[in-house]
Structure 1
Amino acid sequence: MAFKESDRQEIDEKLAALITNSNAIRAVAAAVEGTIGPKGLDIMLVDRFGEVTITNDGVTILKQMDINHPAAKMLINIARAQQEEVGDGTTTATIMAGTMVQEGANQILKGVPVARVIDGIKLGVKRAEELLEEKKMDVKGIDDPALRDVALIAGREHTDIAELVIEAAKLIGEEKLKSKDFKLKDTIMSRAGAKNEVFTGIIIDKQKLNKQMPFELKDVKILLIDDALEPEQIAPEALRTEAGFTRHLEEKEEFKRNIEKIVDLGINLVLVDKNISSDAEEILTDAGVIAVERVSTRDLEKVAEHTGAKIMKRTGIKKSKEEINEHVGEADKAFEDRKLKQIRIVGGKGKPLATILVGAATEEIVDERERIAKDAASSLQASINYGIVPGGGALELAISRELEREKSKVKGMASYGLDCVI
């Protein structure tokens, strides 16, 4: 068959685009190859501002790479999807996807039709998934010894982190770990100078509003406000009028009465999403109440779940004492950690929630210690939900052999696509 010169040029351009895409994907995969597994090497990343990150976490490396190539971006999105769904295994997903693309490009360059390569890859991936399902083993409850091995390997053989994750999982319980709305990794934080610790409670990464407020509370009654704790605002134009200014003074007085109402109810911890006015600060400080402003909505929700509190808006404090009391949560103790500059709430009367505090020797390794702990937590939770398989590449080799046998059953050139999976 004779090709016209224009046809040859079009084919050459398509092959050039294929090679460019393959090379871009290969370059991204190569950047994380050396970090795979518990023995993987750390990589030092330096951004344009001179900020240094030391890590061997695949998705962290990929996120910080300045990549514009569309094919390479697709590979990074695969890693992000893996991180979102499972929380670990991003390096493995990146390397496997990159290798399949590279091998597929090689087959196409040898003359195998693109459609046949795709058919073979789909067939191989589907069969590999079936084999994975057949060979997986279910975890026998939260006390299964295999979970410690999972946490240890995913935690890059940091024994202290593996023990913390196991302890937290036992505190939380299997039922909670199997909930799709709960992620164990979200209970983890790391701080320089902190001791490794797991406790039933919540850490708010804020300090109390006023130094004169108490450092510790017992028999805590908690009020959560998803708003600013300040009087209703009067428009500047209205303030220029006598009626408007009078209304402003009335709002301030009503606001003070409402704050005193909170004190009368015995509420001794107030967490607010936005700012707290000076009037409220003064009244709460005099009454021995701890107030914390600019607490994130996510933290408010966690405190609400743990203490049984209901989050209210600013206008909620205008309600009767009985109605406000229905929104109050309870906990055994709350205190400020002056060294770490945190507020801790311990022993909430709502649902049990554990916090994993991972210590780090220096600021430079804080983030990496937290990433390691989150990988361990994610892998442990995934094991409880989906089961475990042999590691160290053993399962991949076993599946590869099975696919080799399947290859003889595949008719036509789709078998070359199956080679990409093998």
Structure 2
Amino acid sequence: MNLKQAGSGAEVDESLAALMTNANAVRAITAAVEGTIGPKGLDTMLVDRFGEVIITNDGVTILDKMEVNHPAARMLINIAKAQQAEVGDGTTTATLMAGALVAEGVNQVLRGVPVARVIEGLKYGIDQALIHLKQQARVLQDIHDPVLPNVARIAGREHEDIAQLVVEAAKLIGMEKLADKKFKLSDIITAQEGADNEVFMGVIIDKERMSEEMPQALSGVKALILDDALEPEEIGDEALGTEAGFKRYIELQEEFKANVHKIVQLGVNVVLADRGVHEIAEEILIDGNVLVIQRMNAKDLRRVAEHVGARMIKRTGLKKSAEDLLKYIGRADTVYQDEKLEQVRILGGKGKPMATILVGAATAEVVGERERIAKDAASSVQATARGGYVPGGGSTEIALARQVEKDRENIKGMAAYGVDCVVNALKRPLAQIVQNAGYNPLEKVEEVIAAQTGQRLDFLGIDCDTGDIADMAALGVLDPAPVKLNAIKAAGEVAVAILRIDTIIKKKEEPDKAAKAAVASEPGLPDF
């Protein structure tokens, strides 16, 4: 006899089994990051089986490194990753909101509200919240707007030095570049142990020159960038065994030498290669006083090419005439290797302006976290430049909750309970922020609601140092509007997806996977 045959009570348990399982998994995920939000949020230590430790306050890093098997939990983590990819910050807010929406939805279902009605009201409430949020967003005046340092400071978790670096870089780059959807300000950040904080117009290559016999510093740079290996064309072993094949091999070697000599004759003094550089080329380029960097990653290669105004070329392209090759060469003022930091800098490129933010760290243990903080700050600055800003500290979400609660009157029937889910979820960020600061969340949330309603000011929140009602804008507590918009939208989407799951069924093994599993389990075979 199954549970449904056992009576009405068992039927209820069976019908809610998937929902409750998913809700518990989501709750476990939100619990992992909720203690990190706000100015008084604490860090999380992640430890793997080898004893490697990461200490971080970054929500998406915590979620990404967690060992998670439950499918609903992975859905929530994927939303956080999507938030990171879209706007680069706000992952903890998105996770808290999604968790709260699921929890509130389950509570309504347990009260007897049909899931379909909960979802209907939830969707309506999220849509209304997004409409009101767009109306509240304030536009950045220009790149020198005093709002920008505050946005960087809040996103950078009160690290003033990092906020200053990010804002300085944004000013160097300008609004037009920040508005470019293909450009990410966070990509120009690198953190280095023992380095000094620095912003400069140029590109850092996190590699050393190929040989110490090559020049350490050059001016009047002419750069050739190979999206390929700088090696002779290959001939198969079978062909080499024939007289014609060996003759062709000698011809290719000579042709390759001639092409490398051509590079030197063109006055090229910097060569960057995507892959390896042959020893024949290395010898010729050393004699030509050329600085060579090999095996660069594709992203760095593209950045350098853009900065120096070079066109990337394949090794077969070196057969072109000297006149044609000149069209591929980029230029810069200087290039030099920093021996201490083991990196090469290219400065004053004649192509697109390119800034670099170098974040210093005292020890290797904090390099990663300093870089994550800087990337969050940079992402928030760029999001603000694109889509404006709103008061932070959970105050905007409270204002939205008040608005959505009024909109509840416009929806009829039991779907109104779904709107309640959105109202309560919007209170969650402030509640967690003040709880992390050591205050009673229920008390402080009600204080803010009363203050905003009584004074008709949507930017009132809680000063986490004093516990008093405060003007978030006056305190400089500001968040990018696009981060809030994406967080609320993403939270609503994942909550609806999870609440819609009625049954969990284990998939059968696909034939190829089952065969691999069977082979792996055969006795006498080694494990890999």
d(CA) in 1 for partners of 2:283, 2:389: 56
SS in 1 for 2:88: coil
Q: Kindly indicate whether residue 348 of structure 2 is the aligned counterpart of residue 351 of structure 1.
A: no
Q: How far does residue 237 in structure 1 lie from its aligned partner after superposition?
A: 1.0
Question: Match of 2:220, as an amino acid?
Answer: D
1:117-166 Cα distance to aligned partner (Å, 9 max, x none) = 00110111011001101111000010000010000000000000000000
d(CA) in 2 for partners of 1:248, 1:40: 65
1:263-299 Cα distance to aligned partner (Å, 9 max, x none) = 0000000000010000000000111100111011111
Matches within 5 A, 1:11-410: 11-410=12-411
d(CA) in 2 for partners of 1:142, 1:24: 43
d(CA) in 2 for partners of 1:332, 1:46: 45
Residue pair 1:216, 1:334 contacting (<8 A) in 2 also: yes
SS in 2 for 1:12: helix
Residue pair 1:331, 1:345 contacting (<8 A) in 2 also: yes
Question: Match of 2:312, as an amino acid?
Answer: I
SS in 2 for 1:252: helix
d(CA) in 2 for partners of 1:220, 1:7: 81
d(CA) in 1 for partners of 2:256, 2:405: 76
Q: How far does residue 234 in structure 1 lie from its aligned partner after superposition?
A: 1.0
Tell me which stretches of 4 or more aligned residues in structure 1 moved more than 6 Å.
none
Question: Match of 1:104, as an amino acid?
Answer: G
1:57-82 Cα distance to aligned partner (Å, 9 max, x none) = 00000001111111111111110111
Q: How far does residue 393 in structure 1 lie from its aligned partner after superposition?
A: 1.1
Q: How far does residue 11 in structure 1 lie from its aligned partner after superposition?
A: 3.3
d(CA) in 1 for partners of 2:91, 2:209: 39
Q: CA RMSD in A?
A: 1.2
1:366-386 Cα distance to aligned partner (Å, 9 max, x none) = 000000000000000000101
Unmatched 5+ residue regions in structure 2? 424-528
d(CA) in 1 for partners of 2:135, 2:151: 20
Residue pair 1:142, 1:173 contacting (<8 A) in 2 also: yes
1:41-61 Cα distance to aligned partner (Å, 9 max, x none) = 111110122111010100000
SS in 2 for 1:389: strand
Question: Match of 1:75, as an amino acid?
Answer: L
TM-score (norm 2): 0.78
Question: Match of 2:252, as an amino acid?
Answer: E
SS in 2 for 1:413: helix
d(CA) in 2 for partners of 1:78, 1:299: 28
Q: How far does residue 419 in structure 1 lie from its aligned partner after superposition?
A: 1.0
Question: Match of 1:347, as an amino acid?
Answer: G
The 3 A distance-change label for structure 1 pair 239 and 107 is same
SS in 2 for 1:189: strand
Q: Percent identity?
A: 61
d(CA) in 2 for partners of 1:14, 1:192: 55
Question: Match of 1:279, as an amino acid?
Answer: I
Q: How far does residue 20 in structure 1 lie from its aligned partner after superposition?
A: 1.1
Q: How far does residue 399 in structure 1 lie from its aligned partner after superposition?
A: 1.2
Question: Match of 1:237, as an amino acid?
Answer: E
Residue pair 1:188, 1:370 contacting (<8 A) in 2 also: yes
Q: How far does residue 247 in structure 1 lie from its aligned partner after superposition?
A: 1.5
SS in 2 for 1:352: coil
d(CA) in 1 for partners of 2:215, 2:379: 37
d(CA) in 1 for partners of 2:144, 2:159: 20
Question: Match of 2:361, as an amino acid?
Answer: A
d(CA) in 2 for partners of 1:194, 1:310: 31
d(CA) in 2 for partners of 1:274, 1:313: 11
d(CA) in 2 for partners of 1:66, 1:375: 24
**Range with greater deviation from structure 2 (249-258 or 191-200):** 249-258
TM-score (norm 1): 0.98
SS in 2 for 1:214: coil
Unmatched 5+ residue regions in structure 1? none
- Counterpart for residue 426 of structure 2: none
d(CA) in 1 for partners of 2:401, 2:245: 79
d(CA) in 2 for partners of 1:201, 1:352: 8
Question: Match of 2:186, as an amino acid?
Answer: K
d(CA) in 2 for partners of 1:405, 1:206: 58
d(CA) in 2 for partners of 1:181, 1:93: 24
Residue-pair matches, total:
420
Residue pair 1:38, 1:154 contacting (<8 A) in 2 also: no
Question: Match of 2:330, as an amino acid?
Answer: G
d(CA) in 2 for partners of 1:273, 1:261: 20
Q: How far does residue 10 in structure 1 lie from its aligned partner after superposition?
A: 4.2
